[in-house]
Structure 1
Amino acid sequence: MRVKPIGERLLIKPIKEELKSAGGIVLPEKAKEKSQKAEVIEIGNSDEITVKVGDKVIFAKYSGNEIKIDDEEYILIDWNDILAKIEE
């Protein structure tokens, strides 16, 4: 299924980061905070959106609506909740 955001919204996929303790032990998902990093999957219809599909971004902690598409977790988020673009 394909989802196309409307207006100034983005569909993003959170990037799951593996977190290790100082001793090298991999911590379980529940022991850490949710990542605020994501990859842009789809973009709505707005001239103001300055990121493109495939860009990696940092988004506001308690923003957006979590949805599942084909057993994958995504977030539908307003453009204003994107805080930064990650450049590597």
Structure 2
Amino acid sequence: MKLRPIGDHLIVKALTAEETSASGIIIPDTVDKERPERGEVIAAGPGKVLENGSRSTMDVKAGDKVVFKKYAPDEVKVGKDEFLVIKSDDVMAVIE
């Protein structure tokens, strides 16, 4: 099975990284934190249909690493792989 986003949706693979506190304690990514999430865009939809019938341009493309709102994504599992589906409006930045 393959995912193909529609409209202004993105398929994102989450980027996880353990953090180390100032005292050296490792904080796993499973700890709930109030912060944006990061991921790599796997696929981008064609853009939202505007009132005049044209499509909006997408600000991100496949391969971009992005920061998005924590509670925005829907989780989707395809085989053993887990992906996130988010709207392009929930992307706050592209990591360069």
- Greater than 6 Å deviation, 4+ residue runs: none
The Cα shift of 1:21 comes to 2.8
Residues paired across the two proteins, number: 87
Partner of 2:46: 45
TM-score, L = length of structure 1: 0.83
Residue by residue, what CA displacement relative to the aligned partner does 1:33-59 show, whole Å, maximum 9, x if unpaired? 376111000111124212111100000
The runs of 5 or more residues in structure 2 that have no matched partner are: 48-55
RMSD over equivalenced CA pairs, Å: 1.8
The code of the aligned residue for 1:68 comes to K
Match of 1:70 among 79, 91, 96: 79
The Cα shift of 1:31 comes to 3.0
Q: Which has the larger radius of gyration?
A: 2
Matched, 1:7 2:16: no
The runs of 5 or more residues in structure 1 that have no matched partner are: none
Q: Following the alignment from structure 1 to structure 2, what is the Cα–Cα distance between the partners of residues 54 and 75?
A: 14
